[in-house]
Amino acid sequence: MAGMKRRDFLKQLAALATLSQLPGLPVALAQLEMDDALAALLQELGKSADMTVYRADPLNAGSPLEPLRATHETPADIFYVRNHAPLPALDADSWRLEVDGLVERPLSLGLAALRRDFPRHEQEATLQCAGFRRQEMLNEDNAGGALLWCSDAISNGRWAGVRLRDVLEAAGVQAGAVHVAALGLDEIVKGAATFGLGGSITLEKALGDELLLADELNGAPLPAAHGWPLRLVVPGYIGARSVKWLGRLTLQADQSDNHYQQRAYKHFPPDVSAETADWPAADSLGELRLNSVFISPEADAELPAGPLRLAGIAIDSQPVAAVEFSLDGGASWQAAGLSGEGRWSWRFWAAQVDLTPGDYELVLRARDQAGNTQPEKVEEIWNFKGYMTNHWQRRSIRVV
């Protein structure tokens, strides 16, 4: 019932979006109607009105940055949302997780069985979209319609549920299984085909302690927008592998043949274009890359001379070892302080500086435990899909 209501509501929202583009309609009125509909949608999904909405249908929204940096456990109402299709209307009683493929015993598990038959675990982990910081790599002209996320497609949650490993062991992994493919129950329409978002990880990764089939976020039931009733959480990997509204796990010899494993979320070097891309030959994206961003000060801020706090977030597929900032365009560097301990979570960084009047080019880079740092220039990592933007972030400010 609730799902039907939501679908109707989304249709209404889409109609409003179309209406607002009609020539001749007073812009202010159209805008007001969109804003009302959007506000109602955010409220319906338990989301803060402070989210940055990149697309309303399906909802794609970034976290407000200052509140994001305020607490390690991102509150559900500001947790970023990345959807490829409208939320599916699922029913708790009829929902099942199917486990099949190269297993001894295919399983069909309802929520009650999952909760009854498997030990529960909690795991703090950061989700980061592969499109994080895309607006520093692509723009409206070359993004091909991709969402131009800033540093807001990232959030850190306390997930709870059962271990993926425990469920796979209950099914009995057969020899020959190398990948675990996950499939969501959403309905993405591409041309004549309709399918759920899917993807795969290696069996080796799947057996790690950190992977959960989660039905809770931050001690509360998993919100609908984040995959209720069950989602896969793959810490350390791009968000796309953490399949929401999970319906099926298949053990197989090869990677998932789903569009989102084979035709999206792939890595391409700078000289490849949409026309020359060899999709089957390209590597699928998996592990997160070393990255760090400013939250404050804001870009192009004009600030009074004196003490200034710099702060932001750093992330990697392993705990970030150091964050360094420069006040002079990269000529000299200083170490920032780090906080946050989680093995699979972001680090917060902060530093206190004292600035005299002038123009400053702030630069930021993180280091991993082996001493490696991020690529300096966007040209080194540019790709036409705008994935994994992680060059040194620069920010100009004026101190008066």
Interface positions with ligand MTE (CB under 6 A): 79-84, 127, 129, 184, 186, 196-197, 226, 239-240, 242-245
CA distances to 231, 379, 380 from 270, in Å: 33, 7, 7
CA distances to 201, 376, 399 from 190, in Å: 23, 37, 50
- CB 384 to ligand MTE: min, Å: 18
- CB 80 to ligand MTE: min, Å: 5
Looking at beta carbons only, is 162 or 185 nearer to ligand MTE?
Answer: 185
Looking at beta carbons only, is 81 or 181 nearer to ligand MTE?
Answer: 81
DSSP 355: E
> How many other CB atoms sit within 10 Å of the CB of residue 301?
13
How far is 343 from 327, CA to CA, in rounded Å?
A: 30
CA distances to 72, 199, 367 from 321, in Å: 17, 30, 6
- CB 273 to ligand MTE: min, Å: 22
Q: Token pair for residue 169?
A: 């062991």
- CB 111 to ligand MTE: min, Å: 17
Looking at beta carbons only, is 33 or 100 nearer to ligand MTE?
Answer: 100
- At 34 the three-state DSSP class reads helix
How far is 382 from 129, CA to CA, in rounded Å?
A: 17
Looking at beta carbons only, is 162 or 197 nearer to ligand MTE?
Answer: 197
- CB 112 to ligand MTE: min, Å: 22
Looking at beta carbons only, is 82 or 158 nearer to ligand MTE?
Answer: 82
- CB 223 to ligand MTE: min, Å: 8
Q: Token pair for residue 182?
A: 């996950």
Looking at beta carbons only, is 326 or 390 nearer to ligand MTE?
Answer: 390
Matching residue, tokens 């209720």: 228
